[in-house]
Structure 1
Amino acid sequence: MIQVEKIDTFTGHRDCVYALEKSGENHRFFSAAGDGFVVRWNLQKPDVGEMIAKVKNSVYSLAYLPKEDHLWVAQNQEGIHIIDLQSKQELRSLKLAPALYFDIQIYDNQAFVAGSDGIISVIDIDTLAFRKHIKAASVSVRCLAINPIERELAAGYSDNTIKIFDLKTFELKKVIMAHTNSVFTIKYSPDFRFLLSGSRDVRLKIWNAEREYALEEEIVAHTFAINHLSFSPDGQRFVTCSMDKSIKVWDTENMKLLKVIDRARHAGHGTSVNKVLWSDHEGQIVSCSDDRTISVWKLNE
């Protein structure tokens, strides 16, 4: 039987917290919010937040580059800020079209940025030159996932589809009529055999990446929109979080629900849980919410 222990609550953001990102150290992670603050937290020293950057507008997405020890910050309506984490100084910035930036994924010296204008911007990390603007819809691109084995880029859209692109040529390979509402989160399983998707339609779906993305399973996973999902470091479990204020823990192999973390039972979040991060530090799970807090959880068996 899994027991849930609430380790801590981090406070300090002055608006809804939208982004969580790992750092180069297992016990540290980054957050960003509607207040424009980008903060580094230490799981070994609870609630001691360290300001990394402050931008004018809200931030929905961050990406950490381990080799450079840089943090990419996507400021909504403006563009990318690249922060050197040693000096906490902005090294460079790149103006993008005025839009909301919902996701950043890094692969093979390229950054992929998902915009509300329907464009995936492909940016060379060294030169900050645009390699490609992928426009396959006029609605928001909400989430991205990269499969290095099949050399594919998956993107979830507000037109309820998941579109699969060739990672080299950026050609559109496949359109999956995936959900009945916006696709808010997609993640490949750690072995890259499956693509998981969560939607505003409250459904979690599992697609077989080795069989032309055939639908393997469909689960009514929450009562409101599924905002995000994250795999455990060993890949055996994953967590989903939702606008219904709950976090759910699942078994990867059989897609069985193992635990519900919520306000009533575990002093969980009071409003929408926007992101969840399964950290490498003692298997702790980090979640952030519209309630402006970040919570840290541990599963005990």
Structure 2
Amino acid sequence: MPIAVQKLASYRGHNDCVYTLAHGDQPNFFFSAAGDGMIVQWDLTKPDEGQLIATLPKSVYTLHRHEDSNLLIAGHNYSGIHIINWQEKREIASLQLTDAAIFDITSIDNLLLVGTGDGSLISVNLKTAQIVDQIRVSEKSIRTIVVNRISNEVAVGYSDNFIRIFDLHDLTLKYAFEAHTNSVFTLQFTKDGHYLMSGSRDARLKVWDVRGGYKLVNEVVAHLFAINDLVISPDGKYFATASMDKSIKVWDAESQQLLKVIDKSRHAGHGTSVNKLLWSSHENQVISASDDRTISIWSIIFE
């Protein structure tokens, strides 16, 4: 299938590597955070006009916008989580969870799930900002957490190369399997909830059958170096991967066939590692964040 790719803009507001992105409450809004501790809101209709939401004293590796409350939660390197009313640019609460880095945050209703560098999966009540539970089944970092409401499961990727599947309701461990030969950096469930896709530092993309007990159904040597992130298009038909090899790749979701490579030589892509992606429903635009301190906006048109 022919794909037209156009670089629409490059946002230059951060002073250090941009590690994370999060969707806003409208399709044209998104947030970014970086090694400079700055959290910035952007508008896809107003290129490079960011609004500073908060400045934290150390690196921010992950952001999560809680949809019901519309609060923004930042995972702060070595200092826990910060709960931010981004509309008022005001911090509501902070919670010192760990001395380790926080690499990912997601939520189940009013429960935050936080993955730390010491291997702890910590659940936090967002309303009370109190720890509910803490599960540690590995001493290696948790790098990624995703929720499947269809199967009522939570998938967690670890730096011990394992994927572990927990029950959505009580976080009991259901499955644990060595998925890759290196750290599992990114996970996504397909829109129908039937498959789990994983990307790793080993540069492999793998697909697992949820209903078949997470049996491996496909493996692709997807990049030259680590796969840092994987996002699915709003319609569920495509997905994109971001890599330490400086490229973004667009794939067919059903067949896992490569459709397009976006890189520096062909599309004026990033000059260093691409760390994070968002696939916005605003004009089907893809947003990428990089170690080169920039955020790029891409028009992806399937012809």
TM-score, length of structure 1 as denominator length: 0.99
| Cα deviation, residue 99, structure 1 | 0.8
| Cα deviation, residue 218, structure 1 | 0.1
CA deviations over 1:168-218 (Å, ceiling 9, x no partner): 221111111100000000111111110000000000000010110010100
> Mind listing any 5+ residue stretches in structure 1 that lack a counterpart?
none
What percent identity do the matched residue pairs reach? 51
Amino acid aligned to 2:290: S
Q: Residue 144 of structure 1 contacts residue 154 of structure 1 at CA under 8 Å; is this kept in 2?
A: yes
Q: Find runs of 4+ consecutive structure 1 residues off by over 3 angstroms.
A: none
Residue 245 of structure 1: aligned partner: 246
Residue 231 of structure 2: aligned partner: 230
Amino acid aligned to 1:159: D
C-alpha separation between the residues in 1 aligned to 2:88 and 2:167?
37
Residue 30 of structure 1: aligned partner: 31
Secondary structure of 1:234's match?
A: coil
Residue 128 of structure 1: aligned partner: 129
Secondary structure of 1:173's match?
A: strand
Secondary structure of 1:15's match?
A: coil
C-alpha separation between the residues in 1 aligned to 2:191 and 2:108?
15
Secondary structure of 2:39's match?
A: strand
| Cα deviation, residue 287, structure 1 | 0.1
Equivalent runs, 1:186-225 vs 2, <5 Å: 186-225=187-226
TM-score, length of structure 2 as denominator length: 0.98
Aligned residues: CA RMSD:
0.7
Amino acid aligned to 2:257: K
Query: Are 1:74 and 2:43 counterparts?
Result: no
Amino acid aligned to 2:254: E
Residue 139 of structure 1: aligned partner: 140
C-alpha separation between the residues in 2 aligned to 1:162 and 1:114?
13
Q: Count residues in correspondence.
A: 301
Secondary structure of 2:87's match?
A: coil
Q: Residue 23 of structure 1 contacts residue 66 of structure 1 at CA under 8 Å; is this kept in 2?
A: no
Secondary structure of 2:265's match?
A: helix
C-alpha separation between the residues in 2 aligned to 1:81 and 1:145?
20
Amino acid aligned to 1:277: L
Query: Are 1:51 and 2:24 counterparts?
Result: no
C-alpha separation between the residues in 1 aligned to 2:64 and 2:27?
15
Secondary structure of 2:133's match?
A: strand
Residue 64 of structure 2: aligned partner: 63
C-alpha separation between the residues in 2 aligned to 1:86 and 1:244?
36
Residue 2 of structure 1: aligned partner: 3
Amino acid aligned to 1:145: V
C-alpha separation between the residues in 2 aligned to 1:5 and 1:80?
36
Q: Residue 27 of structure 1 contacts residue 43 of structure 1 at CA under 8 Å; is this kept in 2?
A: yes
C-alpha separation between the residues in 2 aligned to 1:71 and 1:108?
14
Residue 255 of structure 2: aligned partner: 254
C-alpha separation between the residues in 1 aligned to 2:164 and 2:71?
29
Secondary structure of 1:265's match?
A: helix
Equivalent runs, 1:162-173 vs 2, <5 Å: 162-173=163-174
| Cα deviation, residue 72, structure 1 | 0.5
Amino acid aligned to 1:265: R
More displaced stretch, 170-179 vs 266-275: 170-179
| Cα deviation, residue 46, structure 1 | 0.2
Residue 101 of structure 1: aligned partner: 102
